[in-house]
Structure 1
């Protein structure tokens, strides 16, 4: 791929839209426990914002627990044209979103289905679409990465590399880590032997080990059980703690993610069976639903 083509890539996660079976419970959790800013309604969805974002990055709507769509930011309309042309040339169809059907954080958008049938939005953002608020000190800064189950890992990797992702690391457990900016990964794919295609987890960046630990103490004070952690991952080197939201989704607070030069190639590393998910050896075994 030519250097100019490599620049025509997605910039990172724009938002995650989730269907949840108990919308009021999910709203309370993401506002009062997870400390996202409640931005009211955007169409049929309830909108929330992480503290460092200038747009809604979590959307919730009533329904069976699943991803409604996953949206990635694209720098310009020209980049959007280039990426959708790559998809089309590779046999993936897409459709442009009409102005009246877009969310308030979107200036232009196209949507495609990945090989597992998930709706993937490519969005040229419309900045400054939320009310400025004083963020709470321990509020998450942003969605840093999303991990998806896939029974067809090679096909999923092929699709997401067309968007501009590159493989950073792989693990013996069947996980591939994909980067599109300076972060070690913004997306990861977890191979499922049981046909699962849903959300494996959402990860929110809180910046530092101290903030992971302070949030761990805060949630413990709220009697919110930690599902896994605290520990430090090998791939990405980030400190982590995992919880579940009322819909049963695994969600992570993390800090200190490994960073790279966004435009420099990185040789893919392989993590063998000796890697158990936590290089400190403190977190214990991850929950069953998280790993199979």
Structure 2
């Protein structure tokens, strides 16, 4: 088990022993940091795994109360963790998914399943490995899965399959390729990669972007999705009254020295959408940082594929 899994194990043991989250456990967990493998992410995936296994056996409810949660709140959390998109807005509005509540649920399920320490360790180890096996990927990462068709755009290698349409985005200033849009039906995801300069991260980009969207009359709220922390937003666009707003989801991921951003629009960006392919496209994308990057331009430029699009 790696460092994140070891910390997750010690946090679970401390909570089960004391019945509360100690300050040092809360600090070590790094809860709500979802775009890398943290102990908090390991704990979340471990709980989701247990809940899904129970649901497969036809057990979607808890057999015992959870400290700090009434029956309705526990039900909302369970539905959200099991992927019920209709429960997400209310769960987010009430800020129900906190470290102490998540640990309360996890400890309750562990007790209800009469899991041994060895079984808990195996669960956390599997959860940690699952966290590590999810993209987007750096080209040098030997853990990325092989197979599947990728369109080579230079700075990005993007998954493709029948039914997907790919359009490249050009800069108005110099005509260089600055991004790619993948389209299926009435949903699209726009992908752009940037070098992470200084203290720049998806967290800082996300905060700046949310502030900009709100400053222009739109709305933006953080939520947890299949690709980690994302923004559910409504942005102002040019158009007549009633058609001057666009719903969007903004995904992001921190790689080694780069950030990949995905801007989902159309039907798949709606709060109740269950479309999975934009996330699969985002998480299957491979980033190829330039060998000689520009000193003052963080954008990772792309190129036309040799085989066309």
TM-score, normalised relative to structure 2: 0.25
| Larger RCO of the pair (alpha carbons < 8 Å, separation 6+) | 2
Q: Which has the higher strand share?
A: 1
